[in-house]
Amino acid sequence: MVNIQLLGGVGEIGGNKFLIRDGDSKLLLDFGMSLGLRGRFFSEPFLAPRDGQGLISLLSHSHIDHAMCISLLNRKIPVYCGETTLAILRTLSEMRQKGFENDLDGLDFRTFRTGDKISLGNIQLEPIHVDHSVPGSYGFLVHTSSGTIAYSGDFRAHGSKSTLTTDFVDNAKKSPHEIFLCEGTNLVRGDLRTEQEVLEKSEHVIRKTTGLVLASFSSADIDRLRTFHEIAEKSDRILALSMKQAYLLRSLSKDKHLEVPDVLKDPHITVYQRTKKTYYHWEKDILGQASVKTSKDIREMQDKVILASSSYDMNEVLDIQPGPGGAFINSSSEPFNEEMEIDHERFINWLNHFGLPMYQIHSSGHMMPTELRETIGQIQPKRLVPIHTEQPELYRLFVKDLTKVELGTKGSTVEL
C-alpha cells in the first residue's frame, strides 16, 4: 500500500515536507523550514538534531522553505538534489553562521540532472527541471507500486526559462497520475509580469533616474541578476553587488549549464565592501579577487551605480548619503504576512528619510492562477492535493472542474 503523509506545506506557504511510503521504501519530498512555526518553536538550544528513521530525502531546490531543515537529518539518510542546488547549499553554508540549522557536515549528498532515472527500492524517481526564481529547480514524477505521483516543487510558466516547466508538463502528460501535489502560492497575489517586462520597466526607471539607484532582489535569483546586469551595460552604470551575491555568483559561474556574468572580470560589476571591523574568511576571499567599491566610492559616483541592497543595508546607505534624484527598485516579493508588513513599513520610513521613491517591479517565481489551471488541465491527474498555499479552499473551488481536489491537513495521510 502506498500513502503520502503531509508533514508540512499544506495550508501554508513553504515548509514543504511530504513522506511517501511504498512498502519498505520511504521517500521524503523536500525538508523545508516552516517560516511561521520556526519563530514559535525553533531556536537553539530548545530544539536540536535527533536521529531519524532510515529513509531517502529529496530536494526540489535550494530555498529555505524546501531545504533548510536537512541539517537535522540523520547522516545515514541519503540526500538527493540537483547539482546546482548542491552548489548553492554548500556556498550558502560557507557564508552563514555555524549552528545546528546550518550544519551540512557529514550529509550524504547524491546529485541528479534531468533525464536521470533513480531507483529507490519500490519507488522509481524521475527528476525533471522546472523554471523558478532560483536555478537548479526540479519537479518530480514518483512512480510507485500503486501509480504515479507528480510533485510540482515551485514552478512558473512565465519566466525566462519557461521551456523548462514545459518539459516537466510534457513528461507528466505521458502517463496517468494518481495524485498531483501542486503548489498554489499566487492564488491571491497574481501579477502576470515576465522577466522581459521587469527588464523594460526597470530600464525605463533607471534611464530617467539622475541619482543613485538601489535595487533589491534575491541573491540566488540569477535571472534577476542578469536583468540588472544588462541594464547596467545599457545605461553605462556599474552593478554593485553585495559580498554575499558576488561570492555565490563566483561559485555558480563554474556550472557550465548556467549563463552568469563573470563577477571577477566583468567591467560592469563591482563588489560593495560593507563597513566592518573584521571580515569572514569568505568575505576576504571575494574582496581579494574582485573589483571593490566602498561607501565613499559610491557616494562620489551615484549617477553611475546600481547598488544591490535591501532593508538590511540602511546603515550602509547612511554612509553613502544619497543625493536628490535617486530611486529604489524593489524587485522581490511584496510582504505577505504581518511580520513582513511591519518590516516593510519600517523600511519605507527609511526610504522617506533618504528621499528615495520606491518602484515595485517584480516577476514571481510561482505559477499565476491562469497558468495553474492550464497546467492541471494538461496533466489531468485523478486527484490533486493543494500545497504551498494559504488558500486551499479557494484552490479547490478554482480547479474542481478539472480534477478531484483533496484538502489535506498537516500530519494527515493520503492513500493511493
Q: What is the DSSP string of 303-327?
A: GGEEEE--GGGHHHHHHH---TT-E
Handedness of CA 163, 167, 173, 176 (dihedral sign): negative
Range with lowest mean pLDDT among 34-43, 190-199, 318-327: 34-43
- When mean pLDDT is compared across 57-61, 89-93, 259-263, 329-333, the lowest value belongs to 329-333
Cα 331 from Cα 388, distance rounded (Å): 21
Q: Is the pLDDT of residue 318 over 80?
A: yes
Residues 405-411 have a mean pLDDT of: 93
CATH number belonging to domain 2-189+365-415: 3.60.15.10
Domain segments of the chain: what residues? 2-189+365-415, 195-360
Mean predicted confidence (pLDDT) in 321-346: 75
Written as one letter, the residue type at 392 is P
- Would you tell me how many other CB atoms lie within 10 Å of the CB of residue 389? 23
The string of DSSP codes covering 318-379 is HHH---TT-EEEE-SPPP-SHHHHHHHHHHHHHHHHHT--EEE----SS--HHHHHHHHHHH
Per-residue pLDDT tens for 347-394?
888 889 999 999 999 999 999 999 999 999 999 999 999 999 999 999
- Displacement of CA 273 from its chain's centroid (Å): 25
Gap between the terminal Cα atoms of the chain: 7
Give yes or no for a cis peptide into 45 (omega within 30° of 0).
yes
Judged against a pLDDT cut of 50, whether residue 409 lies above it is answered with yes
Q: Is 384:399 a contact under the CB 8 Å cutoff?
A: yes
Burial 235-271 (b: 16+ CB within 10 A, else e): bebbbbbbbbbbbbbbbbeebeeeebbebeebebbbb
Average pLDDT over residues 240-245: 95
Lowest-confidence pick of 185-189, 212-216, 366-370: 185-189
Query: CA–CA separation, 109 vs 274, rounded Å?
Result: 34
The Cα 144–Cα 232 span in angstroms is: 49
195-360 falls under which CATH superfamily?
Metallo-hydrolase/oxidoreductase (3.40.50.10710)
